[in-house]
Amino acid sequence: MNQKKLWLTLARILALVAVIGISIFVFSIRDRADEFAVYGYPGIFVIAFLANATVLLPAPGIAVVFAMGAVFNPLLVGLVAGTGGALGEISGYLAGFSGQAVIEHVDIYDRMVKWMSRNGNLTVLLLAAIPNPFFDLTGIAAGALKMPILRFLFWCLIGVIFKMTLFALLGSASLTNFGFLE
């Protein structure tokens, strides 16, 4: 095995170990994640990062962004949460890059790979911008297809900032309009 292949294999193994470790850690603290909100914008960033860093495991995030939109400036909440969320999505990308995706040959994953092959940028943007359970598959497919990570992050960042800003604005409007916050 030549040196380049050895380094690539090592990088893939490390990426898989990191994804598994992050997912287990976030899943183990999921009930306490909202405690970070007391730290303001940095706490919102951490919550969004951790919520999006899990692969195929549910974690809180959008609910905290919704509530924090009423407490802090909703546009800044959306920007901070979107940035944290997009960076957290790197774990799905790394899972795909590792080549060890446990969901290969699952029908929805195969469809995602086809969408990503045809129009990766638009697929990442649209699926990052809407709440859906399939975005981890998008990151996995992007990594497996070796989409450049900066391109993945760029389109993911735009989509997640849009989504998080929308939830923060909705939280701000609903919590203040219904008299929960005065």
Determine, yes or no, domain membership for 182.
no
Residue 95: pLDDT band with limits 50, 70, 90: confident
Q: pLDDT at position 11, please?
A: 65
Sign of the alpha-carbon torsion through 174, 178, 181, 182: positive
Determine, yes or no, domain membership for 112.
yes
Q: pLDDT at position 71, please?
A: 81
Containing domain of residue 73, as a range? 3-175
**Matching residue, tokens 């490390």:** 14
Determine, yes or no, domain membership for 166.
yes
Q: pLDDT at position 182, please?
A: 47
Determine, yes or no, domain membership for 181.
no
49 vs 102, more confident: 49
Say if residue 31 is exposed, middle or buried (CB neighbours under 10 Å; 0-12, 13-18, 19+): exposed
